[in-house]
A and B are shown apart, each in its own frame.
Chain A
Amino acid sequence: MQEVRFLGRGGQGAVIAAELLAQAAFLDGKIPQSFPFFGVERRGAPVTAYARVSSEPIEVRGSIATPDAVVVLDRGLLRFAGATDGLRENGWVLVNAPASVQAFAAPAGIRLASVDAARIAVDHHLGSPTLPIVNTAILGALARVTGIVSLDALERAIAAAVPRKPQENRAAARAGFEEVRPLTDPRSRLPLPPPRPRRELPLPEGPLALRSSEEILTASWRSLRPQIDLSRCTRCNFCWKYCPDVAITLDAEGYPKLEEEHCKGCGICAEVCPPKTIAMVAEA
């Protein structure tokens, strides 16, 4: 049995990627299973999905602790400890990244590959340039590096199961298959982020899970960050008023300040700023 973990953000198609992999594996004559892990179902929120492909009936359900491959639809998610946890020896980490990015946080003893699935998606008019739907392109790349499914079966699964732009999605899968680059240079590995300490919160004495939302760090949802040009700021405070997450506070002089750990990158502040001093820029 081969097991794949997909890490993405709501809107990128990670759940559908896992399901398409299952459909394609079935067309290859295998027994598949796929399963998403749901938290908040919202555009930009981290999403994990899983797929199993076997030649025998599958006797397990649920998440995958020891994957053979981890597919990272948004490389920002590699910043978080645990992204590649449990990956098997010689397993694959496949990352969506432009060719200019050559180094990734990756454990030793694994195989690393990258594909510019975002560019391929934009080339094929899948999603928008700020939120491209990268799943079919990266599935093509996965088929190439792991051989878990044939490209032919993947294309047939896309044709049968993708309701919108099936031809464009098939072409994106082919492009991902052609363009994926295995990275063999050891310098392509960056040290893994340290594991985040599990904060032992005492159980609340009251009946409900009373926890300040200050403790819930929602910045992992962000793919675009507001960049504020304070030299042109009129201190109208619109950004502060309209921010739905209180992620903009005001300093002593009344200038806005971004709360890095809580801003989800929704862009409302940029939208409402009268002199347009806020630009939404891609996360590094």
Chain B
Amino acid sequence: MTVEVLSGNHAQSEAVRLARVQVVSAYPITPQTTVVEGIAEFVASGRFPTQFVKVESEHSALQVCVSASALGARTYTATSSQGLLLMHELLHWAAGMRAPIVMGVVNRAVAPPWALGADHTDTFSQRDTGWIQLYAENNQEVLDMVLEAYRLAEDPAVRLPVMVAEDAFYLSHTVEPVDVPAQEAVDAFLPPRQGHAILRPGEPSRLGSFTSPEDYVLFRHELAAAADRVVPTLGEVEGDFARRFGRSLGGTVVPYRCEGADAVLVTLGTASTPARATVDALRSEGKKVGLLKLRLLRPFPESELRAALRGVGAVGVFDRAYTFGAAGAVATETRAALYGERERPALTSFVGGVGGREVTPSLVRRVFDHLLRGPEEGIVWSDLEPHRELETHG
């Protein structure tokens, strides 16, 4: 193992090289571009013998991965925002054809108006496509999650594609120390993909072709069954990862100081970092608050989330996206998951950090103050007022 100072995007590139991915196809889009640049540099320098397929769009990039995956190859692509939206049709194909593709998604705001900042609307709007969605808080998690994602995707119990999501700029272009495991250690954790070739050139067959209503439902039912196996399989994968590499990502939901908490904030991605610091600050002031970091959004880890929030008085959910005509997406999911509980905590949906606005400890403090005052219906837009600084140049 060596520690290197890497951006989130280069953590993706390193993980893809270490995973010995066989086919990479991607189309550049800010802020994803440096993921693919990093991979291209590995290929050009001879360090990474992969098939790098250049294409004219994200739609084609994912088609390349779907086809190569059907032939049994380990494949990777990466995109962001509009690129992910353009892939939408192929996202369904990938999941429906049970192609264990791993895709890095740099979460970026969706136009219009054009924007580059971190926002989860791009991946939230793909929740129904059949892809597993994992969200990273730091660059170490980015690298580790990509490696775990291949084990999870290719597990015979799952066989589903995985998105590894990281926030634009706050991870993609932020450099920080990352422990890069040795190739041999990764090889032992992640052996070559086996037994998954659906199409074999010597044995002509069809994949994804026409079905009758009688058959179609069976495919959807199998997809649902696979979704149900994601959480237990991820637990096994993470257990093995922790044994081999000595660090754990902490499961599908990661509680922090939730014991005896009056109020807990649920976060996704980099908002968890200032939230954790704020929980420490508030706890030292005697306020009983905690943090629940959500790492898996699809499938939604309902029972883990319920268990983690049991006994909590008030739950706030901080969404870095506005979901049309509803509360924040994570808030809606969390509320639905809690419906099965006998004693349900009050839940407030906070929207903030949208389009890349900074989620600062002072913003999180305001959110906790609001939460401790009592629940509120609808959406609380937590940071609408103009932001300090940054408007220094014309």
| 17 cross-chain CB contacts under 8 A | A22-B176, A34-B175, A35-B173, A38-B31, A38-B116, A39-B393, A46-B393, A59-B273, A61-B273, A62-B170, A62-B359, A63-B358, A77-B393, A85-B392, A86-B389, A217-B394, A220-B393
Q: Which of B270-294 contact A (CB under 8 A)?
A: 270, 273-274, 276-277
A41 touches B30 (CB 8 A): yes
Chain B, residue nearest A36 (CB): B173
Q: A38-B169, A61-B273, A208-B113 are in contact. List 13 more A-B contacts (CB 8 A).
A: A19-B5, A19-B175, A22-B5, A23-B175, A38-B116, A48-B393, A59-B276, A60-B273, A61-B174, A62-B358, A63-B358, A80-B392, A207-B112
Chain B, residue nearest A207 (CB): B112
* A192 CB-CB contact with B under 8 Å: no
B116 touches A208 (CB 8 A): no
Q: Which residues of B have CB within 8 Å of A80?
A: 392-394
- Distance in angstroms from B290 CB to nearest chain A CB is 16
* A176 CB-CB contact with B under 8 Å: no
Q: Which residues of A have CB within 8 Å of B391?
A: 82, 198
Q: Mark A10-50, 1 if CB is under 8 A from B, else 0.
A: 00000100010011001000011111111101000010100
A22 touches B393 (CB 8 A): no
B361 touches A23 (CB 8 A): no
B392 touches A216 (CB 8 A): no
The answer for the CA separation of A80 and B393 in the assembled complex, in Å, is 6
Q: Which of A55-93 contact B (CB under 8 A)?
A: 58-63, 65, 77, 80-83, 85-86
* B374 CB-CB contact with A under 8 Å: no
* A218 CB-CB contact with B under 8 Å: yes
Chain B, residue nearest A32 (CB): B5
A218 touches B394 (CB 8 A): yes
The answer for the CA separation of A34 and B5 in the assembled complex, in Å, is 10
* B183 CB-CB contact with A under 8 Å: no
The answer for the CA separation of A39 and B393 in the assembled complex, in Å, is 10
* B218 CB-CB contact with A under 8 Å: no
B173 touches A38 (CB 8 A): yes
Q: Which residues of A have CB within 8 Å of B358?
A: 62-63
Q: Which residues of B have CB within 8 Å of A218?
A: 394
* A219 CB-CB contact with B under 8 Å: yes
Contact of A26 among B169, B177, B388 (CB under 8 A): B177
Q: Which residues of A have CB within 8 Å of B394?
A: 46, 80, 216-220
* B188 CB-CB contact with A under 8 Å: no
- Distance in angstroms from A8 CB to nearest chain B CB is 11
- Distance in angstroms from A198 CB to nearest chain B CB is 7
* B207 CB-CB contact with A under 8 Å: no
* B390 CB-CB contact with A under 8 Å: yes
| B contact face: mostly helix, strand, loop, or mixed | loop
* A209 CB-CB contact with B under 8 Å: yes
Contact of A81 among B3, B169, B173, B392 (CB under 8 A): B392
Q: Which residues of B have CB within 8 Å of A38?
A: 30-31, 116, 169, 173
- Distance in angstroms from A160 CB to nearest chain B CB is 10
Q: Which residues of A have CB within 8 Å of B201?
A: none
Q: Which residues of B have CB within 8 Å of A48?
A: 390, 392-393
Q: Mark A85-112, 1 if CB is under 8 A from B, else 0.
A: 1100000000000000000000000000
Q: Which residues of B have CB within 8 Å of A219?
A: 394
A59 touches B277 (CB 8 A): yes
Chain A interface (Cβ < 8 Å from any Cβ of B): 15, 19, 22-23, 26, 31-39, 41, 46, 48, 58-63, 65, 77, 80-83, 85-86, 198, 207-209, 216-220
- Distance in angstroms from A9 CB to nearest chain B CB is 10
Chain A, residue nearest B3 (CB): A26
Q: Which residues of A have CB within 8 Å of B176?
A: 22, 31-33, 58
The answer for the CA separation of A46 and B390 in the assembled complex, in Å, is 11
* B213 CB-CB contact with A under 8 Å: no
* B325 CB-CB contact with A under 8 Å: no
The answer for the CA separation of A217 and B388 in the assembled complex, in Å, is 20
Chain B, residue nearest A26 (CB): B5
Known A32-B5, A198-B391, A220-B394; contact A60-B277, beta-carbon cutoff 8 A: yes
B386 touches A32 (CB 8 A): no
The answer for the CA separation of A217 and B174 in the assembled complex, in Å, is 29
Closest 7 CB pairs of A and B: A82-B392, A46-B393, A220-B394, A217-B394, A59-B277, A35-B174, A62-B358
Q: Which residues of A have CB within 8 Å of B360?
A: 62
B177 touches A60 (CB 8 A): no
The answer for the CA separation of A34 and B170 in the assembled complex, in Å, is 10
Q: Which residues of B have CB within 8 Å of A65?
A: 388-389
Q: Mark B153-176, 1 if CB is under 8 A from A, else 0.
A: 000000000000000011001111
The answer for the CA separation of A200 and B393 in the assembled complex, in Å, is 16
- Distance in angstroms from A11 CB to nearest chain B CB is 15
Q: Which residues of B have CB within 8 Å of A85?
A: 389, 392
Chain A, residue nearest B278 (CB): A59
Q: Which residues of A have CB within 8 Å of B392?
A: 46, 48, 80-83, 85
- Distance in angstroms from B196 CB to nearest chain A CB is 38
Q: Mark B245-281, 1 if CB is under 8 A from A, else 0.
A: 0000000000000000000000000100110110000
Residue among B3, B390, B392 with most chain A CB within 10 A: B392
The answer for the CA separation of A33 and B175 in the assembled complex, in Å, is 5
The answer for the CA separation of A86 and B390 in the assembled complex, in Å, is 12
Q: Which residues of A have CB within 8 Å of B113?
A: 208-209
The answer for the CA separation of A198 and B388 in the assembled complex, in Å, is 11
- Distance in angstroms from A64 CB to nearest chain B CB is 9
Q: Which residues of B have CB within 8 Å of A77?
A: 393
The answer for the CA separation of A207 and B111 in the assembled complex, in Å, is 12
